[in-house]
Amino acid sequence: MADLSKYRPSSSYNSPYWTTNSGAPVWNNNNSLTVGQRGPILLEDYQLVEKLANFDRERIPERVVHARGASAKGFFEVTHDISHLTSADFLRAPGEQTPVIVRFSTVIHERGSPETLRDPRGFAVKFYTREGNFDLVGNNFPVFFVRDGMKFPDMVHALKPNPKSHIQEDWRILDFFSHHPESLHMFTFLFDDVGVPQDYRHMEGFGVNTYTLINKEGKAHYVKFHWKPTVEVKNLLEDEAIKVGGANHSHATQDLFDSIGAGTFPEWKLFIQIIDPDHEDKFDFDPLDVTKTWPEDILPLQPVGRLVLNKNIDNFFAENEQLAFCPAIVVPGIYYSDDKLLQTRIFSYADSQRHRLGPNYLQLPVNAPKSAHHNNHHEGFMNFMHRDEEINYFPSRYDPVRHAEPVPLPPTYFNAKRDRTIIEKENNFQQPGERYRSFAPERQERFIKRWVAALSDPRVTDEIRSIWITNWSQADKSLGQELASRLNIKV
């Protein structure tokens, strides 16, 4: 007799005939059950009710941010030994490979929006390691708009469409960020040419937040992660974006899918920068401030490994829409830092997924670890974990399960009063100015034109224009003067 317990929900076990969700055979999937040929439909037509009820619920809530995305699978391979920096098992030696799934996305716009809109791109990697999953959730820019997660909901509301008209409008964006000059550095990326990547294969990725690497001896280092494509970084200028987007609003998704299908596997090199926490006060900025980059001439990029995407996903809903990331999901040897934005993301991401997908979203195959796991998180909505044990508490003398070996944590001591404070070393203008001055003249001109267009929005007040010109003048005097001249404004 066949072992029926192996038939978990999977298309691998499809029956040769149509069935209901409970497995009952369906002999007619075209006609409702009615009273006679012309009579009313019967409520007892369970097959019809089930079919309609499932259809009504086919669409889960789309992500508030990063709704538009594309995924692919592959592997990460260590190429350089960093075992002196971290005890993470998947980084223990060159040659070690770990399966991954990666999701690229746009941030602000809806799931069906064009992939050519000026917007940050998400770059999220889920490592299926032997010690559980590690989610490295980042963007294609190394910095962010705000440094404290308290501002995040308001920031997203400002970037999203007007709640009255459902139109994204510059005046709302410029109004909000005029209160937060820390955003200037992020805008030197968003309004730069890299604001519209050519596709996902030709863009960089960054972990953005500061994490902590801990080695076997318990020594900790702050770390930032950088993904560099093995191909050239390419972007779309305005005319190109209009042409590409007008022809195919899913061009980046199609490019990713077609490239992998043709055997042209996208590849990135992983680099890290590290800072000894004992030295964090040596800089003129706070290393845990996400609006700052770490100078590469002082803190050089160190190679770690390579990421190769060599397999397309099997199903878009199961492996893209239900794919869920959270910066809190780390492995031994990698930990958080006191980065204020990271600290809020640790809670917010998982909470968002519990809302979208349910409290057991980590049981979904795409999110579940590939390693053995054991806990007493029972029941709840959509729990499909097979359990036959009698002990669902800990500890128990009837269950030999024990604690794992201790994992080193950052050796930080805290002694301070409760307070709501800003980061002391704000230094909002130096790095944006340096980045602008690094642009070639024609690139500076494109940057200026984008800002003139945004500040020319008729609902942007003279006060807001003056604030922005003042801020850009503090970053670079010539930039502020040029904006003021073209907008005919005296500051």
The answer to whether 104 and 200 are in contact (CB under 8 A) is: yes
Query: What residue type is assigned to position 365 of the chain?
Result: P
Q: What Cα–Cα distance (Å) separates residue 323 from each residue in 69, 213, 311?
A: 10, 26, 16
Q: What angle do CA 314, 318, 321 make, to 5 degrees?
A: 120
d(CA 89, CA 215): 11
d(CA 351, CA 337): 20
The answer to whether 14 and 23 are in contact (CB under 8 A) is: no
Say whether both 203 and 158 belong to one domain: yes
Measured in residues, the chain has a length of 491
Reported confidence tier of residue 386, pLDDT bands at 50, 70, 90: confident
Picking from 237-251, 396-410, 425-439, which range would have the lowest pLDDT averaged per residue? 396-410
For 129-171, write each residue's pLDDT tens digit: 999 999 999 999 999 999 999 899 999 999 999 999 999 999 9
Say whether both 325 and 203 belong to one domain: yes
- Kindly state whether residue 431 falls inside one of the protein's structural domains: no
Picking from 16-20, 215-219, 310-314, which range would have the lowest pLDDT averaged per residue? 16-20
Determine the pLDDT at residue 3.
61
Segment holding 137, helix H or strand E: strand 132-139
Say whether both 42 and 138 belong to one domain: no
- Kindly state whether residue 342 falls inside one of the protein's structural domains: yes
- Kindly state whether residue 429 falls inside one of the protein's structural domains: no
User: Nearest CA to 76 among 268, 308, 366?
Assistant: 308
Determine the pLDDT at residue 383.
86
Domain boundary among 333, 363, 393: 363
pLDDT at 81 over 90: yes
Reported confidence tier of residue 380, pLDDT bands at 50, 70, 90: confident
d(CA 15, CA 112): 34
Say whether both 139 and 92 belong to one domain: yes
Q: At 170, is the secondary structure helix, strand, or coil?
A: helix
Q: What Cα–Cα distance (Å) separates residue 157 from each residue in 66, 116, 167, 297, 489?
A: 14, 21, 12, 37, 29
Average pLDDT over residues 446-470: 97
d(CA 274, CA 4): 52
How many angstroms from the chain centroid is the CA of residue 419?
30
Determine the structural domain holding residue 99 and report its residue range.
Answer: 69-363
Determine the pLDDT at residue 219.
96
User: Nearest CA to 214 among 127, 91, 79, 335?
Assistant: 335
Say whether both 229 and 290 belong to one domain: yes
- Kindly state whether residue 396 falls inside one of the protein's structural domains: no
Rg (CA), the chain: 26
Q: Which residues pair with 226 in a beta bridge?
A: 206, 271
- Looking up residue 26, the CATH number of its domain turns out to be 4.10.91.20
d(CA 469, CA 490): 9
For 42-63, write each residue's pLDDT tens digit: 888 888 888 888 778 888 899 9
Say whether both 265 and 306 belong to one domain: yes
Say whether both 228 and 134 belong to one domain: yes
**DSSP summary character for residue 224:** E
d(CA 340, CA 144): 12
Which are the catalytic amino acids?
66, 139
Determine the pLDDT at residue 241.
97
Q: What is the dihedral of CA 360, 361, 367, 368, to 10 degrees?
A: 10
Q: At 235, is the secondary structure helix, strand, or coil?
A: strand
- Kindly state whether residue 420 falls inside one of the protein's structural domains: no
- Kindly state whether residue 2 falls inside one of the protein's structural domains: no
Say whether both 357 and 461 belong to one domain: no
d(CA 373, CA 388): 15
Determine the pLDDT at residue 280.
92
Q: Which residue is it, tokens 């040659």?
A: 95
pLDDT at 25 over 90: no
Asked whether the CA dihedral 212, 338, 159, 142 is positive or negative, the reply is: negative
Determine the pLDDT at residue 159.
97
Determine the pLDDT at residue 13.
72
**DSSP summary character for residue 117:** S
Burial class (CB in 10 A: 0-12, 13-18, 19+), 55: exposed
Say whether both 20 and 167 belong to one domain: no
Asked whether the CA dihedral 321, 326, 329, 334 is positive or negative, the reply is: positive
For 229-264, write each residue's pLDDT tens digit: 999 999 999 999 999 999 999 999 999 999 999 999
Domain boundary among 19, 38, 58: 58
- Kindly state whether residue 481 falls inside one of the protein's structural domains: yes
> Residue 468 has which token pair?
């922005």
> Residue 22 has which token pair?
């409970």
d(CA 349, CA 347): 6
Determine the pLDDT at residue 6.
58
- Give the percent of the chain with pLDDT over 70: 98
Say whether both 197 and 133 belong to one domain: yes
Segment holding 452, helix H or strand E: helix 441-455
- Looking up residue 254, the CATH number of its domain turns out to be 2.40.180.10
> Residue 43 has which token pair?
């409520």
Reported confidence tier of residue 8, pLDDT bands at 50, 70, 90: low
Q: What Cα–Cα distance (Å) separates residue 437 from each residue in 194, 233, 423, 432?
A: 16, 20, 26, 9
Q: How many CA atoms lie within 13 A of 431 on its CB side?
A: 29
Task: Tell whether 349 is in a known binding site.
Answer: yes
Other CB atoms within 10 Å distance of the CB of residue 280: 14
- Kindly state whether residue 434 falls inside one of the protein's structural domains: no
- Say how many domains are in the chain: 3
Picking from 83-92, 290-299, 403-412, 458-467, which range would have the lowest pLDDT averaged per residue? 403-412
Picking from 65-79, 119-133, 382-396, 477-491, which range would have the lowest pLDDT averaged per residue? 382-396
Q: If you average pLDDT over every residue of the chain, what do you get?
A: 92
DSSP per-residue codes, 346-400: HHHHHHHHHHHH-TTGGGSTTTS-SS---------TT-------S--SSSBTTB-
Determine the pLDDT at residue 157.
93
For 84-116, write each residue's pLDDT tens digit: 999 999 999 999 999 999 999 999 999 999 999
> Residue 55 has which token pair?
């259809």
Domain boundary among 313, 346, 363: 363
Say whether both 224 and 244 belong to one domain: yes
Say whether both 101 and 244 belong to one domain: yes
Determine the pLDDT at residue 377.
81
